[in-house]
Structure 1
Amino acid sequence: MNNIKSPLFLNGKNAELIETFDSETIISKYKALNIEVARFFKTPNISLYKCQKTGYRFYYPFEIVGDARFYEDLSKNKSNYYSERWEHKRALNYIEKHDLVLEIGSGFGAFLNMLKASNIQSVGLELNPYAAEVCAKNGLTVKNELIENEAKTNKGVYNVVCSFQVLEHITNVHSFIKASIDALKINGKLIIGVPNNNPYLFVNDKYHTLNLPPHHAGLWDKKALKALETVFSIQLERMEFEPLNVNYSYFIHFQITNNKSKTLRFLLRAFNKMSPGLLKFILCKFIKGRNVLAVFKKI
Structure 2
Amino acid sequence: MQYQYKPYNAQCPVCTHTANKLLYTVNARQSANHFIQTMGAKEISLDTLAQKIDSLWGKNTASVISCSNCDFVFADPFVAGDAEFYNLLPHSTTANDTNWKWEFEKSFQCISQLAASDANLQLLEIGASTGGFAKRIAKLIKKENIICLEHSAFGVNAIKQAGITAHSWDVRDLNQKGEYANKFNMVCLFQVLEHMDDLDTIFKTFNWVLKPNGRVFIGVPNADKIKFNELNNALLDMPPNHIGRYSDKTFKFLAGKWGFNITETAIEPYTPLDVMKTVMYYQSLQRRQLPPVANTLWYRVNEYIRIKYLRLQAALWHKKLGETLWLQLTKAA
Which interval holds the TM-score relative to the shorter structure?
Answer: 0.7 to 0.9
Residue 129 of structure 2: which of 97, 104, 107 is its match? 107
Indicate if the aligned counterparts of 1:17 and 1:47 stay in contact, CA closer than 8 A.
Answer: no
Partner of 2:292: none
Deviation at 1:283, TM superposition (A): 4.7
- Tell me the secondary structure at the aligned position of residue 329 of structure 2: strand
Structure 1 position 250 matched with structure 2 position 294: no
Distance 1:147 1:49, change over 3 A: same
Matches of 1:265 and 1:222, distance apart in 2: 35
Q: Which one-letter code corresponds to 2:305 in the other structure?
A: F
Relative to structure 1, the CA distance from residue 225 to residue 255 in structure 2 (aligned partners, 3 Å threshold; closer, same or farther) is same
Q: Which residue number corresponds to residue 291 of structure 1?
A: 324
Superimposed CA distance per residue, residues 207-264 of structure 1 (whole angstroms, 9 cap, x where no aligned partner)? 43xx312321211122212322232100111001111239434346369999xxx999
> Does the alignment pair 1:200 with 2:228?
yes
1:139 CA drift (Å): 1.8
Which residue identity does 1:112 align to in structure 2? Answer: A
Query: Which residue number in structure 2 is paired with residue 28 of structure 1?
Result: 33
Cα deviation 1:145-202 (Å, max 9, x = unaligned): 2222224421111111111111000011121122112211111111111001213134
- Aligned partner of 1:168 among 158, 170, 194: 194
Correspondence for 2:204 among 157, 175, 178: 178
Separation of aligned partners in 2, 1:218 and 1:212: 10
1:73 aligns to 2:106 (yes or no): no
Amino acid of the residue matched to residue 133 of structure 2? Answer: F
Give the superposition deviation at 1:206: 6.5
Whether 2:48 is the aligned partner of 1:40: answer no
Match of 2:216 among 175, 190, 198: 190
Partner secondary structure for residue 41 of structure 1: helix
Report the secondary structure of 2:71's partner residue. coil
Structure 2 residues without counterparts, runs of 5 or longer: 1-6, 287-300
Partner of 2:161: 137
CA 201–163 in structure 1, closer or farther in 2 if over 3 Å, else same: same
Q: Which residue of 2 aligns with 1:148?
A: 172
1-side partners of 2:25 and 2:98: how far apart? 30
Which residue in 2 is equivalent to 1:276?
none
**What's the secondary structure of 2:189's corresponding residue?**
strand
Question: Who is 2:305 aligned against?
Answer: 266
TM-score relative to the length of structure 2: 0.73
Q: Residue in 1 aligned with 2:148?
A: 124
Counterpart amino acid of residue 40 in structure 2: N
Identify the match of residue 20 of structure 2 among 16, 22, 26. 16
Report the more deviating stretch, 192-201 or 62-71: 62-71
Q: Which amino acid aligns with 1:253?
A: M
- Residue 231 of structure 1: SS of its match in structure 2? helix
Alignment partner of 2:110 out of 78, 94, 100: 94
Distance (whole Å) between structure 1 residues aligned to residue 232 and residue 184 of structure 2: 40
The amino acid across from 1:61 in the alignment is: P
Count of aligned pairs: 286
Alpha-carbon shift at residue 3 of structure 1 (Å): 5.6
Please give the secondary structure, in 2, of the residue aligned with 1:292: strand
Contact 1:256 1:268 in 2 (8 A): no
CA contact (8 A) 2:64 2:75 kept: yes
Which structure 1 residue ranges, 5 or more long, are not aligned?
273-278
d(CA) in 1 for partners of 2:139 and 2:161?
16
Say if 1:295 and 1:3 are closer, same or farther in 2 by CA, change over 3 A: same
User: Taking structure 1 as reference, are residues 64 and 280 closer, same or farther at Cα in structure 2, changes over 3 Å only?
Assistant: closer
- 1:256–1:266 Cα contact (<8 Å) kept: no
CA distance in 2, matches of 1:204, 1:285: 14
Quick one: which amino acid aligns to residue 30 of structure 1? F
Contact 2:149 2:167 in 1 (8 A): yes
2:95–2:158 CA contact under 8 A, matched in 1 = no
Structure 1 length-normalised TM:
0.81
| Alpha carbons 2:32, 2:53 under 8 Å: kept | no
